[in-house]
Amino acid sequence: MKKIIGLVTVLTFISCSSTPKKLDADKEIISDQGELTRQEMENTAKEMGVYIAHQIQNDLGAGKVYLAFLPTKNDTTEEIAVDLYDQSMVSTLISRKVNVLRVEDRTAALRELQFSQSGATENELEAGKMKSATHFIQTIILENVFSHKGDKIIEHTILTELRSVETQAVLFSKKKVFRKKVARGQISW
């Protein structure tokens, strides 16, 4: 009997403790301090990747587009693992037959081309085969912190744009917003 009373007491104590509250009722994703979770990042990247691939295939012609993927910018107070987002997005685009170029290390690639043409290597690479981007994609993660009815709320917005390199025209801009209540006592402002 003492064990049952002890168990009920522990369960009551645990259920009454302050836990993070989710604001998006259709999701089971919760974090203590309101930060974006890995699952949220990867799911959003896949969703955006599918949308981008669909737009490219229907509006631009998939074989004609070379998409420069620019690294995601983190404009938040958190250290978000944007590489997870980037990798998931690139994987989704490639699986949908979109030509993706990584341009952030182009200088290193040009140095390697130059070295291969110096005659010091066995296999000489040809200059002029490097693809040039016709469009580029840029994602930025924004943060907004506010109070609502006494609760601290953290809102993250993941904003993705597809632009033409030639004209800088924005072909589409899509966002996904996550709002979370911060568990009491977890963050001090």
Give the confidence band of 1 by pLDDT, cuts at 50, 70, 90. low
Total length of the chain = 189
Question: Is it the case that residue 76 has pLDDT exceeding 90?
Answer: no
Q: Which of 51-55, 58-62, 132-136, 162-166 has the lowest mean pLDDT?
A: 58-62
What Rg do the C-alpha atoms of the chain give, in angstroms? 23
* Amino acid (one-letter) located at 179: R
Question: Both tokens of residue 85?
Answer: 């987002």
| Block residue for tokens 């107070």 | 77
Give the confidence band of 120 by pLDDT, cuts at 50, 70, 90. confident
Percent of the chain's residues with pLDDT above 90: 31
> Which residue ranges make up each domain of the chain?
24-181
3-state secondary structure the chain: CHHHHHHHHHHHHHHHCCCCCECCCCCCCCCCCCCCCHHHHHHHHHHHHHHHHHHHHHHHCHHHCEEEECCCEEECCCCCCHHHHHHHHHHHHHHCCCEEEECCCHHHHHHHHHHHCCCCCCCCCCCCCCCCCCEEEEEEEEEEEEEECCEEEEEEEEEEEEEECCCCCEEEEEEEEEEEECCCCCCCC
Question: Both tokens of residue 120?
Answer: 């010091």
Handedness of CA 115, 118, 124, 129 (dihedral sign): positive
Asked whether 162 and 137 are in contact (CB, 8 A), the reply is yes
pLDDT of residue 189: 46
Give the confidence band of 151 by pLDDT, cuts at 50, 70, 90. confident
CATH of 24-181, one of 3.40.190.10, 3.30.565.10, 3.10.20.30, 3.40.50.10610: 3.40.50.10610
| Residue with the larger pLDDT of the pair 153 and 2 | 153
Q: Which of 9-13, 28-32, 149-153 has the lowest mean pLDDT?
A: 28-32
Give the confidence band of 27 by pLDDT, cuts at 50, 70, 90. low
pLDDT of residue 154: 87
